Chain A
Amino acid sequence: MNSILRDHSALPDRWHRLIANPFFWPAVAGAGLLFCIAASVLGFLDLYLQLILIYVGINIILTVSLNLINGYMGEFSVGHAGFMATGAYVASLLTIRIFPSGISDLFFPLAIFAGGVAAAIIGLLVAIPSFKTRGDYLAIVTLAFCMIVKSVLENIDAVGGPRGLLGMEKLTTLPWVFFWAALTVWVIRNLVFSNFGRGVLSIREDEIASDLMSVNTRQVKVIAFVVSSFFAGVAGGLYAHALQFINPKMFDIIKSTDILIMVYLGGIASIAGSIIGAIIFTILLEILRPLGVWRMVIMPLLLVLLMICRPSGIMGLRESRLFFPLRDLVTERLWRKRKKENGDAPA
């Protein structure tokens, strides 16, 4: 087996060999980052297009991270906006009040990271009830958490209460969003295809059975919630510094619904699906903008139609070959080959 892994010529075609190249992903990420830096520094993309791309990036972070819980772990969390709010407020307070204002762009990544950590701590709190409650009841727990976060923010006058928080500099740039989005995809993808990720999938399929197979379900749930809410917090921080204004009402259940729609539009348990869902949803909303109010009438109709025609979303539990580890591709190819030779009993 090991020798096959090293022998790249065993791979089916040039496409696979390209993905298998260890420099492929760093090259793609580097090229993307260079493009983003060039776009924002040289300004060959106008600001409107840049803003749309920033929103696409933030939505990719949100969908990919929510997919870890809703798709791979099979829970139904509706509280992602609450984690986002935590990150947004913590990061904004840091850049407005704590960090020196002259060089705040140096401290910006630190603020975003701190926002993510704060959201992760909240995520840890949500993970605890998930030990006992499952399914719809866990959905209620996350919903209640989202509303409690919003309600607490509305009642703290020091952070602006219901009026919201103003005064962030516009620190979110396209390269930063690209960096964080790429980091999210990288972390979640590696997590999902690791040993830990198999544990997450086994919880979705059957929690009791996976417990019996000595998967530490509690630990897996805690890690999944913490990682997912960390990235939601990061997205919140980026969002706050792109919009330069936040208030608690922006992070209510309607925001969570938007993220859910993007995840299920793309298809659960698929990183490629989440990315596609976020891109389609964000860009379609922009394209339909001339329709005014009616765009929000057409969008849900399209969603319902898509759900009826393809109930599991665009990718629906399938993953793009781009994200599969080499090992899996090789095993799959071997399996197909043996099936061809041995008929019904490959093995």
Chain B
Amino acid sequence: MAYIFQQALNALQLGSIYALIALGYTMVYGILTMINFAHGDMFMIGAFFCFMLSAWLKQSFIPALLLSMLGVACLGVIIERLAYKPLRNAPRVSAIITALGVGLFLENFTLALSPYPKNIPALVSNTAWKLGSLSLSSLQVIIIVLSVVLMMVLDFIVQHTKTGMAMRAISWDRTVVPLMGVPVNRIISMTFALGAGLGGAAGMMYGLAYPVIDYSMGIMIGWKAFISAVVGGIGNIRGAMIGGFILGSVEIMTAAFLPSTYRDFVAFTLLLALLIVRPYGILGTPHPQKV
């Protein structure tokens, strides 16, 4: 029993990282109906920013977190302005291919600059607490609490601020909203900044939990976060959070009870089964086609 609880904690940790990245996918999709495949690499860049800030500039945890979030958010806005904005009226697939290209560029640029894996120094003291037979590390608590706080902040921004209202309005109807005086370009940039910032935070937390980082760490995790977004219903913010936690628990529980090489197999088979039963994700709403 204690084993299951222990694994549930690990699942929460991995799930919160997936959920943070999935939020970036789902927000951009909600507003632009575009899959930003470069988002997994934003996550990787976040980890590298964290490495630079902590190893070279000797920053402590909070400044490193805030600065790497800010840095990745700026990068997200720059990429949106340079690469995605010219394609806003182009066919959807061109935007997707551009995103794949941007992702490849980020990966290989990092590879060219830093060919060897890097080690992030321990920013928080990793003390382990015992709760009966359960062991709980301070790092785990920080990751889970911090991501829950970040998600609550995001939920507040989207549901209760004027910017959030504008975001929801754009995803509702993008042609009418500019007529109401909403600065669409600024809101889209804001969305990219928020999504990328969350991805950067996830990258930093992942880097603290599994300290060896390299250029390719964002590929697999990015795709998996994308899958979480789809499981929850893409375009739906709360769905992305739920999807992240579901995928995290499925992966950890498979690894806990089966050989860990079956992890991907079970996770993706479950995903297929879910998509056959609910083709629009858990919280997604079906869009019936009109003739």
Residues of A at under 8 Å CB distance from B?
A: 70, 76, 129, 132-133, 136-137, 139-141, 143-145, 147-148, 150-152, 154-155, 162, 207-209, 212, 253-254, 257, 260-261, 264, 268, 293-294, 296-297, 299-301, 303-304, 307-308, 311-313
User: Cβ of B259: which chain A residues have Cβ within 8 Å of it?
Assistant: 155
A-B contact sample (8 more), CB < 8 A, given A76-B96, A307-B98: A133-B279, A141-B275, A148-B272, A154-B261, A209-B291, A253-B219, A261-B101, A296-B104
Q: Which listed residue (B105, B262, B275, B289) contacts A304, Cβ 8 A?
A: B105
Q: How far is the CB of B275 from chain A (nearest CB, A)?
A: 6
Task: Determine the distance from Cα of A296 to Cα of B115 in the docked complex, in whole angstroms.
Answer: 13
Task: Determine the distance from Cα of A109 to Cα of B103 in the docked complex, in whole angstroms.
Answer: 38
22 contacts between A and B (CB under 8 A): A76-B93, A133-B275, A136-B35, A137-B275, A137-B280, A140-B226, A140-B230, A141-B275, A145-B268, A148-B265, A151-B262, A254-B219, A268-B93, A293-B112, A300-B103, A303-B104, A304-B101, A304-B102, A307-B101, A308-B83, A311-B90, A312-B94
Q: Which listed residue (B91, B101, B105, B275) contacts A311, Cβ 8 A?
A: B91
Q: Which residue of chain B has its CB nearest to the CB of A129?
A: B276
Task: Determine the distance from Cα of A226 to Cα of B86 in the docked complex, in whole angstroms.
Answer: 36
User: Cβ of A143: which chain B residues have Cβ within 8 Å of it?
Assistant: 223, 227
User: Cβ of B230: which chain A residues have Cβ within 8 Å of it?
Assistant: 136-137, 140
Q: Which residue of chain A has its CB nearest to the CB of B235?
A: A136
Chain B 4-30, CB-CB to A under 8 Å as 1, else 0, gives 000000000000000000000000010
Q: How many residues of B contact A (CB 8 A)?
A: 44
B109 interface residue (CB < 8 Å to A) = yes
Contact status of A308 and B98, CB under 8 A, knowing A133-B279, A293-B108, A299-B104: yes
Q: Which residue of chain B has its CB nearest to the CB of A303?
A: B101
User: Cβ of B96: which chain A residues have Cβ within 8 Å of it?
Assistant: 76
- Give residues 249-291 of B contacting A (CB, 8 Å): 259, 261-262, 264-265, 268-269, 271-272, 275-276, 279-280, 289, 291
Contact status of A151 and B268, CB under 8 A, knowing A296-B104, A297-B112, A300-B104: yes
Q: How far is the CB of A139 from chain B (nearest CB, A)?
A: 8
Q: Which listed residue (A136, A208, A212) contacts B234, Cβ 8 A?
A: A136
Chain B 137-148, CB-CB to A under 8 Å as 1, else 0, gives 000000000000
On whether the beta carbons of B279 and A137 are closer than 8 Å, the reply is yes
- Give residues 11-69 of B contacting A (CB, 8 Å): 29, 35
On whether the beta carbons of A297 and B264 are closer than 8 Å, the reply is no
On whether the beta carbons of B291 and A140 are closer than 8 Å, the reply is no
Q: Which listed residue (B87, B261, B271) contacts A307, Cβ 8 A?
A: B87
On whether the beta carbons of A151 and B105 are closer than 8 Å, the reply is no
User: Cβ of B227: which chain A residues have Cβ within 8 Å of it?
Assistant: 140, 143-144
Q: Which listed residue (A140, A257, A297, A311) contacts B100, Cβ 8 A?
A: A257
B153 interface residue (CB < 8 Å to A) = no
Among A151, A212, A254, A300, max chain B CB count under 10 A is at A300
Q: Which listed residue (A145, A154, A300) contacts B108, Cβ 8 A?
A: A300
Task: Determine the distance from Cα of A253 to Cα of B104 in the docked complex, in whole angstroms.
Answer: 12
B97 interface residue (CB < 8 Å to A) = yes
Interchain residue pairs A-B with the least CB separation, the first 10: A311-B90, A300-B105, A296-B108, A300-B104, A311-B94, A151-B265, A303-B101, A144-B268, A300-B101, A151-B264
Q: How far is the CB of A301 from chain B (nearest CB, A)?
A: 6
Task: Determine the distance from Cα of A144 to Cα of B231 in the docked complex, in whole angstroms.
Answer: 12
User: Cβ of A70: which chain B residues have Cβ within 8 Å of it?
Assistant: 93
Among B83, B100, B226, B271, max chain A CB count under 10 A is at B100
Task: Determine the distance from Cα of A145 to Cα of B259 in the docked complex, in whole angstroms.
Answer: 20
Q: Which residue of chain A has its CB nearest to the CB of B280?
A: A137
User: Cβ of B165: which chain A residues have Cβ within 8 Å of it?
Assistant: none
Q: How far is the CB of A60 from chain B (nearest CB, A)?
A: 19
On whether the beta carbons of A311 and B87 are closer than 8 Å, the reply is yes
User: Cβ of A147: which chain B residues have Cβ within 8 Å of it?
Assistant: 223, 264, 268
Q: How far is the CB of B7 from chain A (nearest CB, A)?
A: 21
User: Cβ of B103: which chain A residues have Cβ within 8 Å of it?
Assistant: 300
Q: How far is the CB of A133 from chain B (nearest CB, A)?
A: 5
On whether the beta carbons of A264 and B94 are closer than 8 Å, the reply is yes
User: Cβ of B268: which chain A residues have Cβ within 8 Å of it?
Assistant: 144-145, 147-148, 151
On whether the beta carbons of A264 and B97 are closer than 8 Å, the reply is yes
Q: Which listed residue (A148, A162, A261, A296) contacts B97, Cβ 8 A?
A: A261
User: Cβ of A148: which chain B residues have Cβ within 8 Å of it?
Assistant: 264-265, 268-269, 272
On whether the beta carbons of B265 and A129 are closer than 8 Å, the reply is no
Q: Which residue of chain A has its CB nearest to the CB of B263?
A: A151
- Give residues 90-127 of B contacting A (CB, 8 Å): 90-91, 93-94, 96-98, 100-105, 108-109, 111-112, 115
Contact status of A132 and B279, CB under 8 A, knowing A293-B108, A304-B102, A307-B98: yes
On whether the beta carbons of B115 and A260 are closer than 8 Å, the reply is no
Q: Which residue of chain B has its CB nearest to the CB of A257?
A: B100
Contact status of A312 and B272, CB under 8 A, knowing A260-B97, A296-B108: no
On whether the beta carbons of B223 and A253 are closer than 8 Å, the reply is yes
